[in-house]
Amino acid sequence: MLLFYTDFMGEVVFGGDPKAPHDSEAYQRYNAGVSMGCWGMCIYAFSAAFYSAILEKLEERFSLRSLYFFAYLAFGLGTGLATLSTNLYVVLSLCVTYGVLFSSLCTLPYSLLCEYYQSPQFCGSSEDGTRRGMGVDISLLSCQYFLAQLLVSVAMGPLTSLVGGAQGVMYFSSLMSFVGCLYSSLCVVYHLPPPEGAPPKRGPATTGAHLKDPHPFILPSPSNVVLLPPP
């Protein structure tokens, strides 16, 4: 989506035409929109940096599921409202939501992977030479992230031509973001289940060691018992 954001600003927000003659007013409006879109990208970059700085603190107060859901929801609302509104200040202010999602996608999957590796129930073979390490999983996550960008970039060109403008990209981004909300809530595993046959976790067991009296009562042996006559 970010590849077409400046084009969206020039065509939709400013009402320009990139195919108009260079000395026409429509082309000048398009250039002005592209320049303003660059400022929107600056806002997006600053918001991503700021949210990345506070994300670690947010992970201490909120669950990864909540942060994932909030990031996708914010991006979906941001792109959807930016398409519906033609107010320049509203569109620029919504660039903050783009940085929230970008920061979350570059941070939360790796935090979740670290939690997987800290769990003794993490899936993996215990045979020598068959268990992959964290470095391999991190590289797989990075490959999936860039592969998704490649696939979306290939599809955005035909989509823009089909719709006839950059607003189609924004609608598609908003729709897929709401799909990401559902997927992150229903399909992502945040807590690994205990292995089969493992006893449930309980509190500290109450054993005799915990109830040991520093002054125990000792029953007398029969040889030490003295029988007194009745009064």
DSSP track, 114-168: HHHHHSTT-----STTT---HHHHHHHHHHHHHHHHHHHHHHHHHHHHHHTSTHH
Place 128 in a pLDDT band, splitting at 50, 70 and 90.
low
* Alpha-carbon span 74 to 77, nearest angstrom: 5
pLDDT at 155: 80
* Alpha-carbon span 108 to 146, nearest angstrom: 16
| Residues 59-76 pLDDT 10s | 889 988 899 899 999 999
Residue ranges of domains in the chain, CATH in brackets: 2-121+133-193 (1.20.1250)
Q: Which of 139, 215, 148, 138 is nearest to 176 (CA)?
A: 148
What tokens does 153 get? 């970039």
| Residues 19-45 pLDDT 10s | 888 888 999 999 999 999 999 999 999
pTM of the complete model? 0.72
